[in-house]
Amino acid sequence: MNTVTHPQRSGILGVFDHKLFWPSLILFAIILAFALIAPEACGAFFASIQNFVLTNFSWLILAVGAAAILFSLWMLLNRPFGQIRLGGEDCKPEFSFYAWVSMLFCAGLGTGFVIFGAAEPLYHLYSAPTIIDAGTAGTPRAVPEAIRLAVVNWGLFGWPLFCTAGWAIGYAAYRYKKPLRTSTGLYGILGERCNDTLISKIVDVLAGVATIGGVAMMIGLGVASITFALKLLFGIELGPVGQFAVMLGLIVIYILSSASGIAKGMRLFSESTGYLALFLLVAVLFLGNTPITYSLNMLLQVTGEFLFRLPQNLFWTDATQIAPRPWSGTWFIFYILWNMSYVPFTGGFIARISRGRTMREFVFGTAIVPIAMCLLWFTIWGSNACFEQLSGYQPMWQVVKENPEQALYMLLGSFPFGSVLCFVAFICFCGFAITTADAASHFIARQVAPGEEHSSLAMRVLWGCVIGMTGIIFQVTGGFSAIKSLAISGGTLFVLVMIAYIVSIWRMMHAELPTSGSRS
């Protein structure tokens, strides 16, 4: 990779670009100080940004999310470019398909899958406008729609965004010998100066902030889930000090993973966590009170409705209401923006682990497979949670309304070998959290270094600690709503960056159409 031309500093943190490192670190230090000194004012400030964005730009956010999905489909089906390989014609994939997909999930939204697999369909079952308008809220007839909405949130409005960003960054990085930075994806617009303009610097700095906000939100949720799991499994009650201790423990494990690099530590964690997740999925299907045929029938019906109603999935805005109900902003638009905050680090990380993949393989693995897994995961977990609620086995909805992170353990606890399954879920969740922090810290370290190979362990540990401490500080001082608003605020800029990525890819691919066979 070519290095950037700015002055470099070195020491324990290794070689880094001070024009990116210090603005990123100082900006986030200010945010953390704000959260510690005036938590209520901090929460109100980020909430005001969130409300402004949701009130005025929901239409644009939804349109950009739909554009990324349609553009991913174009990349998948495009014949002239489908066989282009990241890294050149002779470049072979570094990771097996299973390891590659496992790392995609662990670095992306795997943590959220574990927390919300059982909880989110229950939310929609009782509160989604399409279900309320049909008069079926809280009834068995609404279960397929409730699960479909969860799949839209976690599958449709997430992975195509990551796919588009990953190809924009990866193609420019490997073809034009640029660092794996967020701004590199703008090569098709800015050319050789894609890393050197003021706009580039702003994008790179805010990419780090958005990444920390988005991942810290998930980490904050994770601490709440781990706290409940420790109480359930071992009778350990954790206060703020205990939560800090849990976070420090995760950071220590993350450091061990990060020290051995992506090809060893993270791949091992990702593959192992992936097997645990598959084990839990099979256990839920076969051991629960829900008949297997109910879940399998639900899977077919939800898949059919998801595909048949794809245009509605992309463009539903609740426009029939004089004053649109807040549900869309709370779910559809919120998820797009939350995923936008993940775009910088997932795009850069996907580009890093996808070298050697063709465009068709890349889109299939980063968009189609995750959506299919999302259908499978949320249908099996969601059908079991809804069945237990509607059949009177457990008051799942009452628990989910107050503490969504408890739904997973409540459901598994009712199964044979419930304690064992809860412990496996706990380990699985920790694995997802560790690998997500690992991937995010690798990304931010690369953002402030001259190229992908130059981030030191100390630099990765620094940003991993920042992510972890941000999650726990906001959880303890400002609550979940504050860190959620921070994630939304961080992701807002990348609505515009996503538009730029689509234009950049289009221009890069067509600029060399006559020599497409030899491109990287």
pTM exceeding the 0.95 threshold for the entire prediction: no
Average pLDDT, the chain: 84
Give tens-digit pLDDT for 187-212.
999 999 998 899 998 999 888 888 88
Does the 8-513 domain belong in CATH 1.10.1740? no
Domain boundaries, the chain: 8-513
In which band, very low, low, confident or very high, does the pLDDT at 451 lie, cut at 50, 70 and 90? Answer: low
Q: Give the contacts of 404 (CB within 8 A, at least 6 positions apart).
A: 115, 116, 119, 120, 123
Q: Give the contacts of 380 (CB within 8 A, at least 6 positions apart).
A: 281, 284, 285, 295, 299
Give tens-digit pLDDT for 117-157.
999 999 999 999 999 999 999 999 999 999 999 999 998 88
Give tens-digit pLDDT for 55-107.
888 889 999 999 999 999 999 998 888 888 998 788 889 889 998 988 888 77
Q: Could you count the other beta carbons within 10 Å of the beta carbon of residue 86?
A: 24
Helix residue spans in 179-291 (DSSP H): 187-190, 198-234, 240-259, 267-287
From 25, 108, 32, select the one nearest 444 (Cα to Cα). Answer: 25
Q: Give the contacts of 166 (CB within 8 A, at least 6 positions apart).
A: 346, 347, 348, 349, 350, 351, 354, 362, 366
What would the 3-class secondary structure string for 39-57 be? HHHHHHHHHHHHHHHHHHH
In which band, very low, low, confident or very high, does the pLDDT at 516 lie, cut at 50, 70 and 90? Answer: very low
Give tens-digit pLDDT for 350-400.
998 999 999 999 999 999 999 999 999 999 999 999 999 999 888 999 888
Mean pLDDT (whole number) for 271-283: 92
Higher pLDDT, 151 or 25: 151
Q: For residue 333, what pLDDT is reported?
A: 86
Tokens of residue 249, six digits: 């423990």
Q: How far apart are CA 300 and CA 304, in angstroms?
A: 6
The DSSP call for residue 109 is: T
Tokens of residue 53, six digits: 């964005």
Mean pLDDT (whole number) for 311-321: 82
